[in-house]
Chain A
Amino acid sequence: MSFEPKIVGFLCNWCSYRAADLAGTARIKYPENVRIIRVMCSGRVDPSFVFKALSLGADAVMVAGCHPGECHYLEQNYKAMRRFHILKHTLRAMGLEEDRVRLVWASAAEGQLLAEHIEKFVADVKKLGPLNWGHNWAENGDRLHALEAIVKEHEEAMEVKS
């Protein structure tokens, strides 16, 4: 059986989530691999969400927001963009393929565009193959510790909230 990646998508409530709604209303077909989680704004996407998803077995993560300059919350997608670059840097440092995370923009009118983004991303992740933490870490024990620390931090953060 061919590799079907599991991808978590964080979509902002105002543009990209509605773009996905529109893709549906217009019956635009795209691969079933992306599972969507709604957030109010791409600026809400805590990098720990991405690590959490990857550590729980997602092969890739997509973050989608409003186009730069069109954010429902004025400029919060720029903050998502900034964080995203740091996130990519961290992934590289951990020995992960940075292409496993992707940030895209789609306005509420761009169902077609979002579907194309998803189609492309799924195809690209298929080329990368399954996420293989162990393989990457075998060469450097520090990375293992780094991830353990991050997971622990999540749990602590969760304790504070609950």
Chain B
Amino acid sequence: MKNIRVSYYHRKTKTRSRISSPLMRAMVLEMTFLLPLYMHKVEIAGLRLEFDSRYPSLMKEAFAEYSCAVADAAALKLNPDQWIEHITSETEQEPKQVEFYALSVALGELLPLHNRLQTHGVAIEYDGKAYIFSAPSGTGKSTRAFLWQKYLGQERVTVINGDKPILWFRKGSILACGSPWAGKEGLHKNTCVPLGGICLLRRSPQNTIRRASAKEFFNSYYGQVQMPIDPQALLSALSLLEGLYSKVPVFILENDMSEQGVKVAFEALTGETYETHRI
């Protein structure tokens, strides 16, 4: 539990205190466990999921686009509780936020066994194809997506997921799918779009793009994929990563956040001339 920052929200004074004593933290977490549970049914990246939550209003709102009333005996059951300890965050989080993110970890652990991967990055859609920008936090993934919207059109570039797109490996194609875990901007869409390419972002004064080697892809992308703890799921995840590299072009984009960076990435990813698409 040492990585979780628990805070307590005082309703009357509308203030928040950080709870630093381990005992108190344990008690607050313990208390939240006494709340009644509500079952939620959702469908994400083509998978039916079920989970219990102590925070029905938060979950209802967060999963609104993904809710699925159909009962399905084959639905995957998610258990966020066992993953709560794994949540690390720089920001203070309320227990309900912790539960929300624990659900994403619980899902990410199961996904490789169902031909899917939970990734970290920004997935955008342009002209029927999805493109993923991947980089450690703070390298400008979201900014890059906004630059595409600025130069190629707000309506024509949509964000599928701004933080954790799910990749769905199907026969013949890999799809980038939306999910409600969408980072601080909260941009996501319940859709699955064929993946056209991945851009590994690096800050640089020049704007150049080139294909990534297998090792470069592994070294940069491995940390951006949720690798399961379960060994069978982990081996499946490795097979999916290999499939990803063999089926989808992966580029390293050195860029300075200028329009030139949009142009070189656009042309490499789409194979089209930038000027004919620029608004």
A pairs with B: no
Give the B-binding residues of A (Cβ under 8 A): none
Give the A-binding residues of B (Cβ under 8 A): none
